[in-house]
Structure 1
């Protein structure tokens, strides 16, 4: 069981201020390191009319969702599962690491305000460490893998070209292991996972692993950062 699983099962204890939970939550994590400043992609998806979709996976979806909820041009970022079947798209089953699912985030964005390439630049820079195979920080398993689920061929080509560009530039000490493939389906996660970073800013796992990602977004991508997060619950209220 990973530190994050432990902390989730121990939310009540954390609320009571049990310090052992905080100690258990600490682990090796990109969040505690400096984010990697990387060049923008040389190629990008051509701007299109209407709301566009991107689906990515980079470890625990709490932090991934949180970053994009603070990103200008993102209209909604939903935590969920991708890579497996509908029958296994639930937190209990994906936790076994045998379903094919990754914890993923579906991003709805306005291409007039942010491009697909910028979303990927943020993904590779501050969201996660793309050189970690089947893990992210303290979380281990294929469900925490680095992946891009392309919704069309253009997204796939841009993502693959960007990975090749970053590897050639040697911006990381190790090769990127992010897998790029077509999106088959995205299944929203349970309600209690949505807006988790905003709703639980003092939860030990969030404090140590995810809040630094928001700080790095604000520092490195200041022109793309928004202070007030765009929350799932607010999007539901307006629909």
Structure 2
């Protein structure tokens, strides 16, 4: 009897695992895509510029841009909601209006806004997934570009139209483009997360491949040593 119960329990566990696997998002859905550069780009200018992007969990987005040449800082945080709700536990409910976002400061003489968007659409995330990214679901994981000025909006809108017209993806891009109203840095423990926890299962499975894709597809824009928010001690 005990053996029978054990076998039935084992079968039930296997069935649940198979069912979970069947409904789990495929990593292939986020596989890097080689895409053309934007036909329209912002001209190089003096001084640092800011780009604000949301593409799923901010750990991976930050990690990719911390390995991007010309980026002077990449900070994880929240945008789209109020200051009062810029808290991880609240944002995780999906009811605050915030998206997990990354504020990118960059030197436009070393990397253009258009190239940042190309990396964003190519290796950072899948812009055809609505209110989700990989294993994460909810409006806080939406694909969004928060523009700092009219020029950024024109470049972003034109690039999305270009990629859709070229049918680069099997489905239309769902990325929302809107004005940047405010950005709130995330809690300290979220900063430099990919660098600090490279072997954490979520990071190893979902985010390290993004950095590897950056290195392979955008070799001229890749830097080995990440530009960190704090003094990070790498754990292996």
The TM tier, using the shorter chain, reads: 0.7 to 0.9
CA RMSD of aligned residues (A): 1.9
Once the two structures are TM-superposed, the CA of residue 47 in structure 1 deviates from its matched residue by 1.3
Q: Does 1:177 align with 2:167?
A: no
Q: Secondary structure at the match of 1:84?
A: coil
Structure-2 residue corresponding to 1:147: 144
Q: State which of 144, 165, 168 in structure 1 corresponds to 2:165.
A: 168
Q: State which of 56, 59, 81 in structure 2 corresponds to 1:62.
A: 59
Q: Does 1:95 align with 2:92?
A: yes
Task: Render the CA deviation track for 1:55-80: whole Å, top value 9, x for unaligned.
Answer: 00000000000000000000000000
Cα distance in structure 1, aligned partners of 2:45 and 2:109: 8
TM-score w.r.t. the length of structure 1 is 0.86
With over 3 angstroms needed to count, the CA separation of the structure-2 counterparts of 1:100 and 1:69, relative to structure 1, is same
Once the two structures are TM-superposed, the CA of residue 48 in structure 1 deviates from its matched residue by 1.3
Task: Render the CA deviation track for 1:18-52: whole Å, top value 9, x for unaligned.
Answer: xxxxx99x942547753110000000112111010
Q: Which runs of 5+ in 1 are unaligned?
A: 1-22
With over 3 angstroms needed to count, the CA separation of the structure-2 counterparts of 1:191 and 1:157, relative to structure 1, is same
Aligned residues: 213
Structure-2 residue corresponding to 1:34: 31
Cα distance in structure 2, aligned partners of 1:182 and 1:69: 24
Cα distance in structure 2, aligned partners of 1:184 and 1:213: 28
Task: Render the CA deviation track for 1:168-215: whole Å, top value 9, x for unaligned.
Answer: 000000000000000000000000000000000010000110000001
Q: Does 1:129 align with 2:129?
A: no
With over 3 angstroms needed to count, the CA separation of the structure-2 counterparts of 1:110 and 1:35, relative to structure 1, is same
Cα distance in structure 2, aligned partners of 1:215 and 1:70: 10
Q: State which of 197, 205, 211 in structure 2 corresponds to 1:200.
A: 197
Structure-2 residue corresponding to 1:76: 73
Q: Secondary structure at the match of 1:233?
A: coil
Higher alpha-carbon Rg: 2
Structure-2 residue corresponding to 1:6: none
Q: Does 1:52 align with 2:52?
A: no
Cα distance in structure 2, aligned partners of 1:35 and 1:165: 18
With over 3 angstroms needed to count, the CA separation of the structure-2 counterparts of 1:120 and 1:33, relative to structure 1, is closer
Q: Secondary structure at the match of 1:181?
A: strand
Q: Which runs of 5+ in 2 are unaligned?
A: 1-19
